[in-house]
Amino acid sequence: MLGLDKKDYTLLLIVAGLTMLAPFILNPFPEGSGLAQFNAGYPDLMQRFVIFGIFAIGFNILFGLTGYLSFGHAAFLGVGSYAAIWMMKLLTTNVIPAMVMAVIIAGLFALIVGYVSLRRSGIYFSILTLAFAQMSFAMAYSVLTPLTGGETGLQLKIADARILDGALEAGEQARANLFGLNMSSSYEMSVGSWLFTFNTGYYIAALVMLASFYLAIRIFRSPFGLMLRAVKSNQNRLNYTGLNPRPYTLAAFVISGMYAGLAGGLMVAMDTQVGPERMFWTASGEVVLMTILGGAGTLIGPVLGAGLIKYMENILSKINKDILHQWFAFLPDGLEDFIITLVYPFIGKGWHLTLGIIFMMVVIFLPGGLVEGGQRIAKLFKGKDADEDGAQTKPAE
Amino acid sequence: MSTSNFTRRGVLKTSALAGAGVALPTIFTASSAAAYMNEPKGSTVTLGFNVPQSGPYADEGADELRAYELAVEHLNGGGDGGLMNTFSSKALKGNGILGKKVEYVTGDTQTKSDAARASAKSMIEKDGAVMITGGSSSGVAVAVQALCQEAGVIFMAGLTHSNDTTGKDKKANGFRHFFNSYMSGAALAPVLQKMYGSDRKAYHLTADYNWGYTTEEAVKSSTEAMGWETVNAVKTPLTQTDFSSYIAPVLQSGADVLVLNHYGGNMVNSLTNAVQFGLRDKQVNGKNFEIVVPLYSRLMAKGAGANVKGIFGSTNWHWSLTDEGSKAFVKSFGEKYGFPPSQAAHTCYVQALLYADACERAGTFNPCGVVEALEGFEFDGMGNGKTLYRAEDHQCFKDVLVVKGKENPTSEFDLLEIVEVTPVEQVTYAPDHPQMAGGELGTCNPGA
């Protein structure tokens, strides 16, 4: 189907199923119960899941296939975001032109950065990309303030030009939309004490993510993808056979930059605000973490990694001491305080610590990321032939 | 490639499934339409406290959170009632807001716009917060304020000093109690004139971002209006930790006053560098060299230690004020936490109370009702004297404190002394003042 073999098609279907049913899957606990704290099925977080999924999928095309570790991918995300918001400010609040422009501008920027950085490989390449990203961040933060809004960033304003849109009615605000369909509109469905939210923006982002995922599978399985793997496994040998790897790596770099731009454009489409922190080096590091955590070089891995990190950032970080006291209220006072002292450093603002520990565990015990974990579990259940019919793909060598 | 064969059994199965799917929605009860975003339906109302818990302003965030917890306690009738006793409006009864018990959720802004918006969004979408408040930087305040305007909830700004928050980025759903760059400049200038004379040459070091720009502009225009000359204004990167290379040229420039438009760690480092360079012992143009810090906070003074002695700056509120409101707040905060509150804590506490009071007076949590109740609202007894929430830009107008680093501090909290309380008339400006121009308030948005 769709030019995919059965295994990949199943994978695509699984991802499609997961994204479409996300409002149910992510809200397993009834409203008002103590565990509702762990529900992640609200529009903003679901949007983040798929947007960072796209970002990580794109990053994985570069890192997973060619082995070139870019430490500056957030720059493309940021550039895409700025391009998108300017389209919305100047042209129309429809998200399509914004996203298209985000991809184009990010692609062009990636072409320039890639052209320079890909002259080196290994750590030098990483440092070069990092330098470009930090430079973009610093410029967006200060010297480019007229263009980027500086620290405060850019937002849609009532007084924006929007030459394609009609004037706003009094009291109306400019909102991101798809041909009049408001991105922030939601349909809420309550079943018993459960509440499920179906958000327009989320479903649009999810469809874009599915398309990106499909494209990534095609790239992975194409002769081009095979060339990229060849670059990763032994670039010297490739040179000796008379092939010039640079056009391939540059193409991969630009494609992955465009993915990042698309993610940036979608972020603006979902939430019409851009700030320069989006390009800070920690944001670049985050996508590296996502990819490695999920499994570099696998198809589904980066999406899982993105989901895990965003879940922890948004859910774990919001558990404060009061909530802990509620949970452990049944214990005697001394013990309650003791347990809370033990647990507290790992939640709330300490979520980074937990993430760090998980990351270390994964790198040490599951070098193939969460995907390898899944495969091992599948093997336990299915015995030897798990490899043949497991839906997961192997990491690239 | 897969092939599909329609078998009788297959078709039956599929149609059975489809039938079940069609029947399914009938067991759902569609959620009833609310009059406005997150209308509180039960016996509680949820407020969202979005403060920096990590990053450079984590200390201030922690103090803000303490203030909010105190405010919630007082609103629900606990503690000694704090400022509710001295507040000129008596609508609050200590039984929550409109009879609903106040509950709260917290989030970490990380002092990043994206993170702050994500956390505010989760409060609105997941926890059902009707009001978001807090924050310790203008970038975050502007970002979250715009989000609240879009979503249809009220935003009560925490510590944000840039003109933009109620200037070019003002929003109908957003309110700021804290003062701003313009007020700092207007309050400082007369004191500086009195202390240092009107024939001075100033050199500005400015943090290279929005707040730095507006503060530099405000101080520059106020000091130039009284006869000072601005020799140079140099931007310093926000991430700079060593300012010695910026301090050295100051001496060669012929300037005799250094204005540090820096905040937080930046200010601590630049001031320390300047003092270490011996700037304060120098004589230039026959006058003592002086240093000015437009925006002071106690936490910064603590960081800079003995270097702040004798240095002038402005602040929104200080715990050593002796009016009834300030005394009541310092007392209940001190009793609960064991030390006096910072100005960030004060503004956040007051914002929470002002919101609650506005709801009571409006008789609803509807953002449009709250906006109407707050616009043009005059109050007293909150520690800043008579205060007005101006309708045109949702900025509070009140007295501004000019402070000086204390020569002989008696404790780690007693670092600043109040030099002058600049009356509100002196810091009031027209809503379309050039430093504020360019924004539009819009109309209130109740969401839903």
| SS3 sequence of A278-338 | HHCHHHHHHHHHHHHHHCCCCCCHHHHHHHHHHHHHHCHHHCCHHHHHHHCCCCCHHHHHH
Distance CA B98, CA B366 (A): 12
Least CA distance to B168: which residue of chain A? A157
pLDDT digits (tens, 9 = 90+) for B46-62: 999 999 988 778 888 99
The minimum CA-CA distance between B192 and chain A, rounded to whole Å, is 29
Query: A6 at the B interface (CB within 8 A)?
Result: yes
Cβ atoms of residues B75 and B356 within 8 Å: yes
Contacts of B209 in chain A (CB under 8 A): 141-142, 145, 150-151
Query: Cβ A171–B442 below 8 Å, yes or no?
Result: yes
Structure tokens at A362: 């994964």
The pLDDT-based confidence of B12 (bands split at 50, 70, 90) is low
* B-proximal residues of A, 185-224, CB under 8 Å: 188-191, 195, 197
Query: B112 at the A interface (CB within 8 A)?
Result: yes
pLDDT digits (tens, 9 = 90+) for B78-136: 888 889 999 999 899 889 999 999 999 988 888 888 889 999 999 998 888 999 999 88
pLDDT of residue B31: 42
Q: B182-315, superfamily in CATH?
A: Response regulator (3.40.50.2300)
For tokens 């993510």, what's the residue?
A: A209
Query: Which of A150, A197, A317 faces B210 most closely, judged by CB atoms?
Result: A150
Do β-strands A181-182 and A177-178 pair in parallel, antiparallel, or remain unpaired?
Answer: antiparallel
Q: What is the largest CA-CA distance in chain B?
A: 104
Cβ atoms of residues A150 and A160 within 8 Å: no
Cβ atoms of residues B284 and B254 within 8 Å: yes
Query: A320 at the B interface (CB within 8 A)?
Result: yes
Distance CA B129, CA B153 (A): 8
The pLDDT-based confidence of B25 (bands split at 50, 70, 90) is very low
pLDDT of residue B206: 93
Domain with A159, as residue range(s), is: 6-20+43-279
Query: A317 at the B interface (CB within 8 A)?
Result: yes
Highest mean pLDDT among A168-172, B37-41, B437-441: B37-41
Query: Cβ A142–B209 below 8 Å, yes or no?
Result: yes
Q: B44-179+319-398, superfamily in CATH?
A: Response regulator (3.40.50.2300)
Cβ atoms of residues B144 and B167 within 8 Å: no
The pLDDT-based confidence of B7 (bands split at 50, 70, 90) is low
Q: Quick check: is A316 in a domain?
A: no
* Strands across the sheet containing B29-30: A194-199, A186-191, B29-30
Least CA distance to B122: which residue of chain A? A44
Listing DSSP states for B107-129 in one string gives EE-TT-HHHHHHHHHHHHHTS--
Q: Inter-axis angle of helices A43-66 and A301-314, to 10 degrees? A: 140
Contacts of B54 in chain A (CB under 8 A): 349, 352
CA distances in angstroms from B280 to A393, B196, B272, B289, B397, listed in the order given:
68, 13, 11, 5, 34
Contacts of B126 in chain A (CB under 8 A): 39, 42, 45
% of chain B beyond a pLDDT of 70 = 92
Query: Cβ B169–A152 below 8 Å, yes or no?
Result: yes
Contacts of B105 in chain A (CB under 8 A): 318
Structure tokens at B302: 């603590």
pLDDT of residue A385: 52
Distance CA B52, CA B67 (A): 14
For tokens 């302003």, what's the residue?
A: B57
pLDDT of residue B30: 38
Query: Cβ B443–A170 below 8 Å, yes or no?
Result: yes
Query: A170 at the B interface (CB within 8 A)?
Result: yes
Question: Among residues B261, B189, B190, which one has the least CA distance to residue B221?
Answer: B189
pLDDT under 50 in chain A at which residues? Answer: 386-391, 397
Structure tokens at B426: 């002196």
pLDDT of residue B29: 36
What is the total count of domains within chain A? 1
Distance CA A256, CA A63 (A): 9
Query: Cβ B150–A175 below 8 Å, yes or no?
Result: yes
Residue range(s) in chain B whose domain bears CATH number 3.40.50.2300: 44-179+319-398, 182-315
Query: B3 at the A interface (CB within 8 A)?
Result: no
Query: Cβ B118–A272 below 8 Å, yes or no?
Result: no
Q: Inter-axis angle of helices A43-66 and A281-294, to 10 degrees? A: 80
pLDDT of residue B333: 94
pLDDT digits (tens, 9 = 90+) for B338-384: 999 999 999 999 999 999 999 999 999 999 999 999 999 999 999 98
Query: Cβ A184–B150 below 8 Å, yes or no?
Result: yes
* B-proximal residues of A, 341-360, CB under 8 Å: 348-349, 352
Q: Quick check: is A69 in a domain?
A: yes
Query: B393 at the A interface (CB within 8 A)?
Result: no
pLDDT of residue A350: 81
> Residue B285, class by beta-carbon neighbours within 10 Å (0-12 exposed, 13-18 middle, 19+ buried)?
exposed
> What amino acid occupies position B258?
L
CA B431 distance to own-chain centroid? 19
Chosen from B125, B153, B440 to mutate, greatest number of chain A CBs within 10 A: B125
The pLDDT-based confidence of B281 (bands split at 50, 70, 90) is confident
Distance CA A7, CA A28 (A): 29
Chosen from B26, B44, B47, B114 to mutate, greatest number of chain A CBs within 10 A: B114
Q: What is the largest CA-CA distance in chain A?
A: 74
Query: Which of A151, A280, A313 faces B209 most closely, judged by CB atoms?
Result: A151
pLDDT of residue A37: 81
The minimum CA-CA distance between A313 and chain B, rounded to whole Å, is 9
Query: A277 at the B interface (CB within 8 A)?
Result: yes
Distance CA B176, CA B355 (A): 11
Listing DSSP states for B304-373 in one string gives HGGGGBT-EEEES--TT--SHHHHHHHHHHHHHHSSPPPHHHHHHHHHHHHHHHHHHHHTS--HHHHHHH
Distance CA B359, CA B98 (A): 7
ipTM of the complex: 0.84
First to last CA, chain B: 47
Q: What is the mean pLDDT of residues B151-175?
A: 92
- Rounded to 10 degrees, the C-alpha dihedral B333/B334/B338/B342 comes to 70
pLDDT of residue B48: 94
Q: Quick check: is A325 in a domain?
A: no
pLDDT of residue A30: 85
Q: Quick check: is A293 in a domain?
A: no
CA distances in angstroms from B388 to A159, B177, B396, listed in the order given:
28, 9, 5
Q: Quick check: is A295 in a domain?
A: no
pTM given for the model: 0.86
Evaluate if residue B280 carries a pLDDT over 90.
Answer: no
Contacts of B150 in chain A (CB under 8 A): 173, 175, 184, 272
Q: Inter-axis angle of helices A200-221 and A43-66, to 10 degrees? A: 10
List strand residue ranges (DSSP E) for B128-268, in order: 131-134, 154-157, 174-176, 201-207, 229-236, 257-261
Evaluate if residue B2 carries a pLDDT over 50.
Answer: no
First to last CA, chain A: 27
pLDDT of residue B18: 54
Average pLDDT, chain B: 87
Query: Cβ B440–A348 below 8 Å, yes or no?
Result: no
pLDDT of residue B304: 87
Query: Cβ B445–A173 below 8 Å, yes or no?
Result: yes
Question: Among residues A355, A256, A267, which one has the least CA distance to residue A296?
Answer: A256
pLDDT digits (tens, 9 = 90+) for A121-152: 889 999 999 999 999 999 998 888 889 888 88
Contacts of B138 in chain A (CB under 8 A): 151-152
Listing DSSP states for A94-155 in one string gives BHHHHHHHHHHHHHHHHHHHHHHHTTS-HHHHHHHHHHHHHHHHHHHHTTTHHHH-GGG-EE
Q: Residue B159 — left, alpha, or beta (φ > 0 → left; ψ -120 to 50 → alpha)?
A: beta
Distance CA B418, CA B421 (A): 7
The minimum CA-CA distance between A191 and chain B, rounded to whole Å, is 5
